[in-house]
Amino acid sequence: MTTQTLTERPARSTLFDGLTRYVPIGATVALLIALYLGGVANYPNFDSPQVVAKLFIDNAPLLVIAVGMTFVILSGGIDLSVGSVMAFSTMACAWLTVDAGIPAPAALVMVLAFGTLWGLAIGAVIHYFNVQPFIATLVGLFLFRGLTLQINSEDVSMREIEFWQWGMTHVDFGEIRDGGFWLPYLSFVAFAVVIVAFVTLHYTRFGRGVYAVGGSESSALLMGLPVARTKIGVYAVSGFCAALAGVLAAFATKSANPLANVGAELDAIAAVVIGGTLLTGGAGFVLGTVAGVMVWGMLNTLIAFQGNLSSWWARIVMGILLLAFILLQRVLARSGEKRRT
């Protein structure tokens, strides 16, 4: 059984091998350092550690969905529903705790379980009914935006409930005046997600399966790998991450907006690609995704420091970077082919 997807790998392209596979991630890290040094050289106070810490405060939810997206893209799929699932989860948190009066920890568990179940269900549809990931997850994009609007078409505040104060509680690392910085708990949640994802992808059978299925699904099947479990699993991971990102957003803003995170799936996909993961699957690193999210955050920070530039420049630059990285991957893949033949 062969599965054709929109992101199907061309038959001739090969996995990056040897040291070549570290070139894209190296380029991302170099870019990140260049952006940072450029900021330090041009703007006062840019060298404060809090500038870097702020990247992990503002972008903690994006980081979490991008990690989930990395699993899906590594397996050769795509998940368009994460932005809507994230907004739905934030709204569900507000609805369950404010309107229904359910204790917040229980609500949190329910939301996370729901996100995971949704991922399992859509993964099963993709695998067993051979529906293209693009179309199947498009269902989620529409469905959860619609459900979110149906729960409430306006902002809901969660300030009254004490539990939601937890996420922004500070952990101080020295005084800011003396070169210290602080991070809220929710950043540590994002770090934990990254560490768990890293260990899962590189040191577990499931993780190796994700790479194998993304490299070639039919080969993985012939090798006796659990393709079904892996393919469904990655969407469950992505669903869980999207729900968790929604919860983090609830912590960060203590309110739920039905139109929040429109286009978050695109930011996540862009961060994953800039982080060096091949959109056709099979090659990439979750730590690259972290670097990709940091590039996105750094661009926004630079624009904020510049002051007179509009935020749309971040998107244009992101598009240009995306182009550069895709062309880089192309060149590397081509040179890989030449070496083999």
Partner 1 sequence: MNYAKRLMWPLIILLALIVVNIVATGVDFIVPSVNEDGRLGGAFVNILRRSAPLLLIALGMTLVIATKGIDLSVGAVYAIGAAIACQTIIDAPDQTAAGLVFSAVAIALVVTAVIGAWNGVMVAYFGIQPIVATLILMIAGRGIAQLVTGGQIPKVQDSSPFTELGRGAFLAVPIPIWIAALVLTALALLTRRTALGMLLESVGGNPEASRLAGIRSKGITVLVYLVCALCAGLAGLIGAANLGSADANNGGLWIELDAILAVVIGGTALLGGRFFLLGTAIGVVIIGTLEDTIINVGLSSQWQFTAKAIVVFVVALLQSPEFRAWILKPIKRRPAAPAPAPAEEVQAK
Report the interface residues with partner 1, using CB under 8 A.
4, 6-8, 10, 78, 125, 128-132, 134-136, 138-143, 145-147, 149-150, 153, 262, 266, 269-270, 273, 279-280, 310, 312-316, 318-320, 322-323, 326-327, 330
Residue 31 to residue 37: CA distance in whole angstroms:
10
Return the SS3 of 293: helix
Nearest to partner 1 of 4, 341 (CB atom):
4
* CA gap 20, 197 in Å, rounded: 23
**Closest approach of Cβ 169 to partner 1, in Å?**
34
Nearer to partner 1, 240 or 296 (CB): 296
Minimum distance, C-beta of residue 77 to partner 1, in the bound complex (Å): 12
- Which residue, 7 or 50, is less far from partner 1 as judged by CB? 7
CB of 141 to partner 1, least distance (A): 7
Select 62 or 194, whichever has its Cβ closest to partner 1: 62
- Provide the minimum distance between the beta carbon of 24 and partner 1 in the complex, in angstroms, as a whole number: 14
Q: How many Cβ atoms sit within 10 Å of the Cβ of residue 171? A: 11
Q: Can you tell me whether residue 185 is helix, strand or coil? A: helix
Q: Which CB atom, from 247 or from 273, has the smaller least distance to partner 1?
A: 273
- C-beta of 3 vs 116, nearer to partner 1: 3
CB of 242 to partner 1, least distance (A): 16
CB of 287 to partner 1, least distance (A): 22
Report in angstroms the alpha-carbon separations of 275 from 51, 90, 209, 267, 326: 21, 27, 21, 12, 11
Q: What is the DSSP letter of 255?
A: E
Least distance (Å) from partner 1 to the CB of residue 292?
Answer: 13
For 135, the token pair is 């179309």
User: Of the two residues 131 and 221, which places its CB atom closer to partner 1 in the complex?
Assistant: 131
Nearer to partner 1, 116 or 280 (CB): 280
Bridge-partner residues for 156, per DSSP? Answer: 256
CB of 332 to partner 1, least distance (A): 13
